[in-house]
């Protein structure tokens, strides 16, 4: 009723250095946020006064103000409160330190700071990356975002790692603009599914990033911000080694450790001295996500890849393709016992072997990376991908498969690589 609607409009007056946090859980609920007066930002992106920002189910938002402001919320939130304790001053100091490194890089014509953010799951790693990138672009920098978070990454679909040039602050409701990202296919939700492949594509991505930085002066001085997968307690030293080797691959200058003293101490102990390691607190606002919320977020991400967001709808194409027109691969062959291996081959090598598949019903609902590679060999594993399609039907009689694709027929290449991730197209 009209009365209900009226009671759902709330106004908040925020003191300097405080933030309004809210969450929307209920499905189909919409909440509108308007800055009435003063200045405020959401994860480093400034709000435009009077503009209405829409948030939907799953949103967990903090509206922070350095100067104080008045905000209006319209609609039903599941949680909302004003917090006076935030780590924003420390995050902003980090930005200031990075900015000093950029200025000195500019003077000496060398590369700007490469920063890696690490920590457990759900401590605000992606959010901190977003804040640091936003502050950098707001100062005229053009940094690169590298996302190594396979499950909850901000680039392309889950199961990938990639890099994105950040030229504008993130949109408040949709994040960073995804123009021409550099994407490498891994095909699993976590590195443990194939560590050999994971480190191979990390090295590949790191090399490509290094090349790209060299040809773009502005980005070279601005540096790189690297987001990583959540560190799970108790998983031990293998993960540390992985962290350290990816840090080395990217020639990291600064590691920001969120919330975990133990990880911080281990890194200080094991990483070369010229890398600065900084421990930062997590924000009390960061919300822990359940397993089902994570899986829902992955689904949502894939849906958005094909169909866009309510504000920016996309219209994917659906078409049939003959089995004979494509070549389908997966990465990783079954292991052979050591005694059967050719001389000089390690038992781990099978994990990075390309295996051709005959189309079959088991491919249904799977995502496939469309490779850029023209060749038949390992180059397929090492090259970045054009994009993703989803198999929505397998017709064994007619020997055809139906694909959901962001682009109309023909595919940019006939080489498809299997991903473990699936998507049920309910449109
Ligand atoms: P991680 O990358 O470590 O898994 P995220 O940065 O994705 O963590 O944060 C987890 C969730 O918490 C996200 O939905 C994010 O929007 C939310 N969040 C982060 N900081 C805050 C905050 N200060 N107040 C409210 N929600 C927050």
Summarised one tens digit per residue, pLDDT across range 12-30 is: 999 999 999 999 988 888 9
Q: Is the CB of 172 under 6 A from ligand 1?
A: no
Q: Give 103-110's long-range contacts (Cβ < 8 A, gap of 24+).
A: 105/220, 105/221, 105/223, 106/221
Q: Is the CB of 127 under 6 A from ligand 1?
A: yes
Q: How far is the CA of 20 from the centre of ligand 1 (A)?
A: 14
Q: Tell me, what's the pLDDT at 4?
A: 53
Q: Is the CB of 260 under 6 A from ligand 1?
A: no
pLDDT at 231 over 80: no
d(CA 342, CA 339): 8
Mean pLDDT of 376-402: 92
Q: How far is the CA of 263 from the centre of ligand 1 (A)?
A: 20
Specify the range with the lowest mean pLDDT, choosing from 67-71, 227-231, 345-349: 345-349
Q: Is the CB of 153 under 6 A from ligand 1?
A: no
**Could you tell me which residues come within 8 angstroms of residue 388 by beta carbon, excluding any fewer than 6 positions away?**
156, 157, 305, 367, 368, 369, 370, 406, 419
What H or E segment, with its residue span, contains residue 318?
strand 317-322
Of ligand 1's listed atoms, the one at least distance from the Cα of 149 is 2
Q: How far is the CA of 140 from the centre of ligand 1 (A)?
A: 25
**Rg, Å, the chain Cα set:** 23
Total residues found in the chain within this entry: 427
- Residue of 60, 130, 150 to mutate, ligand 1, most atoms within 8 A of C-beta: 60
Q: Tell me, what's the pLDDT at 247?
A: 75
**Mean per-residue pLDDT of the chain:** 90
Residue having the nearest C-alpha atom to atom 8 of ligand 1: 124
Of ligand 1's listed atoms, the one at least distance from the Cα of 119 is 3
Q: Is the CB of 232 under 6 A from ligand 1?
A: no
pLDDT, tens digit, 9 for 90 and up, residues 118-127: 998 899 999 9
Q: How far is the CA of 87 from the centre of ligand 1 (A)?
A: 13
Q: Is the CB of 285 under 6 A from ligand 1?
A: yes
Q: Is the CB of 350 under 6 A from ligand 1?
A: no
Mean pLDDT of 47-66: 94
d(CA 63, CA 67): 12
- Residue of 92, 287, 293, 297 to mutate, ligand 1, most atoms within 8 A of C-beta: 287
Complex ipTM above 0.85?
A: yes
Of the candidates 253, 267, 257, 262, the residue with the CA atom closest to the CA atom of residue 223: 253
Q: Tell me, what's the pLDDT at 179?
A: 86
Q: Tell me, what's the pLDDT at 338?
A: 64
Q: Is the CB of 283 under 6 A from ligand 1?
A: yes
Q: How far is the CA of 286 from the centre of ligand 1 (A)?
A: 4
Q: Tell me, what's the pLDDT at 389?
A: 98
Of ligand 1's listed atoms, the one at least distance from the Cα of 128 is 6
Q: Tell me, what's the pLDDT at 191?
A: 87
Q: Tell me, what's the pLDDT at 339?
A: 67
In 40-78, which positions are buried (b, 16+ CB within 10 angstroms) versus exposed (e)? Answer: bbbbbbebeeeeebbbbbebbbbbbbeeebebebbbebe
pLDDT at 163 over 90: yes
Q: Tell me, what's the pLDDT at 6?
A: 45
Q: How far is the CA of 192 from the centre of ligand 1 (A)?
A: 24
pLDDT, tens digit, 9 for 90 and up, residues 287-312: 888 888 889 899 999 999 999 988 88
Q: Is the CB of 287 under 6 A from ligand 1?
A: yes
Q: Is the CB of 62 under 6 A from ligand 1?
A: yes
What H or E segment, with its residue span, contains residue 255?
strand 254-258
The answer to whether the beta carbons of residues 243 and 149 sit under 8 Å apart is no
In sequence order, what are the beta bridge partners of 60?
Answer: 23
Residue having the nearest C-alpha atom to atom 15 of ligand 1: 60
DSSP 175: B
For helices 88-108 and 125-138, the axis angle rounded to 10 degrees is 50
Mean pLDDT of 69-90: 96
pLDDT band for 398, please (50, 70, 90 cuts): very high
Q: Is the CB of 286 under 6 A from ligand 1?
A: yes
In sequence order, what are the beta bridge partners of 144?
Answer: 165, 224
Q: Tell me, what's the pLDDT at 3?
A: 46
pLDDT at 405 over 90: yes
Mean pLDDT of 396-403: 95
């Amino acid at each position: 009723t009209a009365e209900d609607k009226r009671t759902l409009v709330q106004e908040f007056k925020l003191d300097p250095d405080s933030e309004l946090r809210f969450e929307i859980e209920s499905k189909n609920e919409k909440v509108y946020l308007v800055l009435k007066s003063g200045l405020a930002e959401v994860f480093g992106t400034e709000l435009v006064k009077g503009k209405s920002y829409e948030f939907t189910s799953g949103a967990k938002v903090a509206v922070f103000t350095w100067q104080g402001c008045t905000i209006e919320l319209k609609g039903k939130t599941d949680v909302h409160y004003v917090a006076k304790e935030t780590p924003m001053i420390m995050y902003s100091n980090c930005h200031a330190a990075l900015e000093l490194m950029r200025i000195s890089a500019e003077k000496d014509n060398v590369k700007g700071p490469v920063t890696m953010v690490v920590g457990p799951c759900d401590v605000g790693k992606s959010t901190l990356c977003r804040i640091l990138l936003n502050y950098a672009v707001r100062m005229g920098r053009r940094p690169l975002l590298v996302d190594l978070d396979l499950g909850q990454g901000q680039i392309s679909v889950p199961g990938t790692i990639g890099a994105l040039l950040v030229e504008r602050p993130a949109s408040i409701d949709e994040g960073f603009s995804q123009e021409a990202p550099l994407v490498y296919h891994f095909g699993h939700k976590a590195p443990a599914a194939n560590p050999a492949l994971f480190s191979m594509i990390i090295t590949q991505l790191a090399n490509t990033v290094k090349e790209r930085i060299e040809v773009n002066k502005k980005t070279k001085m601005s540096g790189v911000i690297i987001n990583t997968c959540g560190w799970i307690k108790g998983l031990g030293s293998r993960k540390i080694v992985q962290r350290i080797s990816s840090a080395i691959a990217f020639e990291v200058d600064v590691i920001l450790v969120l919330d975990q003293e133990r990880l911080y101490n281990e890194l200080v102990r094991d990483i070369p001295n010229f890398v600065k390691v900084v421990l930062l607190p997590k924000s009390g606002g960061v919300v822990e996500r359940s397993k089902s919320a994570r899986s829902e977020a992955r689904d949502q991400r894939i849906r958005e890849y094909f169909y866009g967001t309510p504000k920016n709808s996309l219209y994917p194409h659906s078409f049939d393709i003959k089995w004979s027109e494509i070549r389908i691969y997966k990465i990783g062959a079954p292991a052979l016992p050591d005694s059967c291996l050719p001389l000089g081959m390690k038992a781990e090598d099978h994990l990075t072997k390309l295996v051709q598949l005959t189309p079959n019903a088991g491919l249904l609902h799977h995502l496939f990376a469309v490779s850029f590679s023209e060749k038949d060999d390992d180059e397929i594993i090492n090259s970045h991908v054009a994009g993703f399609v989803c198999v929505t039907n397998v017709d064994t009689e007619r020997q055809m498969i139906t694909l959901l694709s962001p682009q109309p027929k023909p595919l940019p290449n006939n080489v498809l690589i299997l991903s473990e991730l699936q998507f049920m197209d309910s449109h």
